[in-house]
């Protein structure tokens, strides 16, 4: 397969037997290229995207302004006066080859303390009921999850987390809330997330953490980054204890 970018062919020598895992390259305007992996398993995406993102950041290529990881892509923003898109794309593909066995490049493991109290968990009982679980079993299930940060977006520092059990793949709320408290741990449509700031939101709120996910005084400002593994540590009184077993 020949990858085309802005009407020009990339070096055909870059396309070999590893093509099944090499990304396609697309131009986004005149100052960004996107590496996208299509038809690739979620497990592979969970490792290759953060590995390639970190690799490109560490290269500190001249003219590169920003490197943005997504669910199945890495976008590289550059100054077109300092580098040509085709040359940059060829260099990126060459470097990506070294990340094809990227399991060792996964991120840190962090534990986040989450309160599952009645005040902090307005949707926990409904979610437990929809999942066919007791509240306590639902909390225990979440505490046993190994969540992977797939993307940071929506608002500064908001992590999109994979790894939610099938029984907790609950749809978003039909009517979003106008205000979601900062630190709210929430789920929706097969993903989990934590709201770094107070904002509107339609995800189901299951708990809340006091940890600051985004702080402009910190470097880097975001607590989590793509590829990190996140574990939830329940803390404080639980809904099931406060309510005398609600959700059973």
Residue 207: both structure tokens together:
């708990």
pLDDT of 101 > 80? The answer is: no
Residue-level pLDDT at 232: 97
Residue bearing the bigger pLDDT, 241 or 133: 133
Report CA-CA distances (Å) from 38 to 10, 58, 79, 153, 231: 18, 25, 27, 21, 29
* % of the chain with per-residue pLDDT over 70: 84
pLDDT of 72 > 90? The answer is: yes
Average pLDDT over residues 181-198: 97
pLDDT of 7 > 50? The answer is: no
The whole-model pTM stands at 0.84
Of the options 3.40.50.170, 3.40.50.1010, 3.30.1360.40, 1.10.3720.10, the CATH number for the domain spanning 4-105: 3.30.1360.40
Q: What is the pLDDT of residues 202-228, one digit of tens each?
A: 999 999 999 999 999 999 999 999 999
Domain 109-242, CATH: 2.40.100.10
- Name the nearest CA neighbour of 60 among 48, 35, 78, 47: 78
Average pLDDT over residues 63-83: 95
Where in the chain are the domains? 4-105, 109-242
Q: Which of 100-104, 142-146, 154-158, 178-182 has the lowest mean pLDDT?
A: 100-104
Burial of 183 (0-12, 13-18, 19+ CB in 10 A): buried
């Amino acid at each position: 397969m020949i990858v085309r970018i802005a009407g020009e062919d990339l070096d055909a020598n870059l396309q070999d037997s590893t093509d099944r895992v090499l990304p396609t390259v697309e131009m986004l305007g005149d100052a960004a290229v996107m590496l996208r992996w299509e038809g690739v398993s979620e497990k592979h995406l969970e490792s290759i995207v953060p590995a390639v993102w970190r690799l490109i950041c560490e290269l500190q290529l001249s003219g590169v302004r920003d490197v943005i990881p997504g669910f199945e892509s890495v976008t590289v923003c550059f100054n077109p006066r300092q580098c040509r898109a085709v040359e940059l794309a060829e260099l990126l593909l060459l470097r990506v080859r070294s990340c094809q066995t990227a399991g060792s490049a996964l991120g840190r493991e962090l534990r986040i303390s989450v309160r599952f109290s009645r005040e902090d968990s307005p949707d926990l009982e409904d979610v437990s009921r929809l999942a066919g679980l007791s509240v306590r079993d639902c909390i225990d299930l979440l505490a046993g999850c190994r969540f992977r940060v797939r993307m940071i977006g929506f608002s500064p520092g908001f992590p999109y987390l994979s790894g939610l059990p099938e029984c907790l793949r609950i749809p978003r709320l039909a009517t979003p809330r106008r205000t979601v408290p900062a630190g709210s741990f929430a789920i929706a449509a097969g993903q989990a997330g934590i709201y770094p700031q107070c904002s509107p939101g339609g995800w189901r709120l299951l708990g809340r953490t006091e940890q600051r996910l985004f702080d402009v005084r910190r470097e880097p400002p975001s607590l989590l980054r793509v590829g990190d593994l996140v574990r939830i540590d329940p803390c404080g009184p639980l809904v099931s204890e406060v309510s005398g077993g609600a959700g059973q």
